[in-house]
Structures are given as C-alpha cells and as structure tokens.
Amino acid sequence: MANHFTHRLGREDAGLRLDGLIAKLCADWSRAQIKRSIEAGDVEVDGLVVKKASQRLDVGQTIQWQRPELIDPEAPGPEAIAFGILYEDAHIYVIDKLPCGCRVFPRQSIAAWNACSGRTPSWPFFAAPMP
C-alpha cells in the first residue's frame, strides 16, 4: 500500500535536485530507494511524471510522490526451506543455498525469500531477530 506525499517548494528548496529534496524530507528512505522510485514513475512535479532524479527544482513547484511501502525484513518470519548443511561446528554453518541466485540477506526493497528467511530453530545465531 502506497502513501501519498506532497510538498510545495519554498525559497530554501530552490535549486535542489529532486532526489536530494526527497532525501531531506524523508530520512527513512535511502538515496538509492528514492532514485528507483523516481525512475519507476512514482514522482510528479507540477502534475507531470518525472523520471530523472537529478532534475533541479524551482520555488513554487509542487512535488507529489506515491511512496511505495518499504518491506520490513523482519515481518515474514522463518520459512521452511530445506537447506543442505555441508559443514557445521560451534561457530559456522556452511549451507548449500540452492536454487542458484538465492539472496543471503534480506533487503527492504525485495520481498523474495532469502537464505536468512530459511533459518531453522537449530541455528542459534538466528534465534533473535536480525537488526
């Protein structure tokens, strides 16, 4: 679910880049996330879709942003994924993370499963939620 964000530029905003202004106003988003959102067509300047993050802004312009919801990497809990354990001791687990291309760590922008979401209760270092 997206939430709508609107900002009318004042004198202090004149000359800023579009991605810079959004980063200034929305500290919970990284520049990379903002750039992807702009390039996806989620941002309008004065009612026109802008896909160039580096666009300079002028006083009086209105920015509208349909902010996509960031995915919380801790939200989905562990999944039942059968990893082959190639080696284990008190300090390390070596897993066969097939299928090839499986991400190891979660990312806010990708909801797909990853090796960390396939953790099992027998892996003590994954017992607590990851930061």
User: Which residues is 63 bridged to in the sheet?
Assistant: 7, 45
Task: Give per-10-residue mean pLDDT for the chain (131 aa).
Answer: 81 93 87 89 93 94 85 55 76 71 56 53 48 43
* pTM of structure: 0.53
| pLDDT value, residue 8 | 94
Q: Which residues contact 25 (CB under 8 A, 6 or more apart)?
A: 5, 7
Cα 112 to Cα 92: distance, rounded to the nearest angstrom = 25
Domains and CATH numbers, the chain: 3-67 (3.10.290.10), 84-124 (no CATH)
Burial, 32: exposed, middle or buried (Cβ in 10 Å; 0-12, 13-18, 19+)?
exposed
Instruction: Quickly count: other Cβ atoms within 10 Å of residue 53's Cβ.
Output: 20
| pLDDT value, residue 128 | 45
